[in-house]
Amino acid sequence: MVPKLLVFFWEKTKPLYLPLSWLYGLGVRVRRKAYEAGWLTRRKPAVPSVVVGNLSLGGEGKTPFTLALAELLKGLDLRPVVILRGYGGRGQGPRVVSEGQGPILGSEEAGEEALLYAFRLPGIPVVVGKDRLAAAELACERFRPGVLLFDDAFQHLRLSADLYLLVVSAGRDPFVERLFPAGRLREPLSVARKAQAVFVTRTNLFPERAEDLSRRFASMGLPVLRTAFEPGPLVTLTPSGFMPYTGRKPRRVVAFCGLGDPDNFRKTLEEEGFEVLFFKAYPDHYHYRERDIRRLSEKAASLGAEALITTEKDLVKIPIGVSFLPVLALSLLLRFPRETLEYLLSLFRSYSLCK
């Protein structure tokens, strides 16, 4: 977790880091070249594997995309297992977060993204590990999967997967971004050509930029598919997992989140008709404490808000029962258009993931 003040300082001073960005870019290129040339060893998992990744530091919509893809693979009876790094978790080594019946670890050990997958994907095991290959071995031993779905492993070059899918948000223009630390890019944009397809997300929020990005990635010789997010129902977190909120839908809310791109969340709330009386953006991957929720509850009460509202990824980290107001999450869904669905099915067949 990066302190908010440090992020603000970085945003204001990014151009100063251009020399460091050049050095970083050189290191990234040399590292990828070393793996591609065989100077460093890559390994392939024992079963077919799919990598979902991005080229930026976050906020691309990768999590909703991966959730939808996991459900699609399950629907095709391919017995997927989701594998993540477990960012934010403090556990050591590869570990099972869910056997398909909800989380068996907490967010402190597993990380909030893995916990979200465990809640949202019944019937699909979830495994985390900084070493994705070790996590893959554990997944194969425990669950005998038909396919491994790796979240955010585009830069994990020791892993050699069958299929690489790149997710890019229309909320930003990666073609004008610089490499870290002078910008948000983790790798040069030319690396996108290593993917079998590019999926542009948030097309409903930024239609003009989505059209422009689709055209520019297509000019690189890449198949480009566009997807839109749909706000789903309000949910609450119980000891049994996410449950639809059955109370009266609130309109006046205090909203908060700990995301890489909080503005998109606020924009979505406003488009859904919520009156956001106060908005608190915490650092990405923030670990909430009881006093954080109490302060937000007090703020909400003073403003006459009906509820606290956040994202599903944040809700899994909120202590239950701390707030005297409902603490809800606006679920985020991704439905593949027919064209995208047909393309994915043909891609799976061409890489022998399904018949």
Query: CA triplet 143, 110, 47: central angle to 5 degrees?
Result: 30
Q: Was 56 annotated as part of a binding site?
A: yes
Beta carbons within 8 Å of 36's beta carbon, 6+ residues apart: none
DSSP 195: S
Which pTM does this prediction carry? 0.90
Q: What is the pLDDT of residue 261?
A: 76
Q: Was 63 annotated as part of a binding site?
A: yes
Q: How far apart are CA 180 and CA 21, in angstroms?
A: 6
**Locus of tokens 């985020």:** 332
Q: How far apart are CA 321 and CA 238, in angstroms?
A: 10
Q: What is the pLDDT of residue 5?
A: 62
Q: What is the pLDDT of residue 229?
A: 84
pLDDT along the chain (355 residues), means of 10: 60 82 93 93 94 87 92 94 84 88 84 89 94 95 96 93 94 90 91 94 88 95 90 85 89 91 86 94 86 94 95 88 90 87 90 73
Q: Was 59 annotated as part of a binding site?
A: yes
Beta carbons within 8 Å of 99's beta carbon, 6+ residues apart: 125, 142, 143
User: Cβ of 124: how many Cβ atoms within 10 Å?
Assistant: 23
Token pair recorded at residue 322: 């701390």
Q: What is the pLDDT of residue 203?
A: 87
DSSP 327: E
Q: How far apart are CA 44 and CA 63, in angstroms?
A: 23
Distances (CA, A) of 39 to 192, 270, 286, 319: 22, 51, 38, 48
- Taking every pair of Cα atoms in the chain, the longest distance, rounded to a whole number of angstroms, is 62
Q: Was 313 annotated as part of a binding site?
A: no
Q: What is the pLDDT of residue 264?
A: 81
Distances (CA, A) of 104 to 70, 100, 109, 119, 144: 19, 10, 10, 10, 19
Beta carbons within 8 Å of 219's beta carbon, 6+ residues apart: none
Q: Was 232 annotated as part of a binding site?
A: no
Token pair recorded at residue 299: 């703020």
Domains along the chain with CATH numbers: 14-26+42-229+335-350 (3.40.50.300), 231-332 (3.40.50)
User: Cβ of 191: how many Cβ atoms within 10 Å?
Assistant: 18
Q: What is the pLDDT of residue 6?
A: 64
Q: What is the pLDDT of residue 311?
A: 93
Q: Was 62 annotated as part of a binding site?
A: yes
Q: How far apart are CA 349 and CA 129, in angstroms?
A: 29
**Locus of tokens 């869910």:** 98
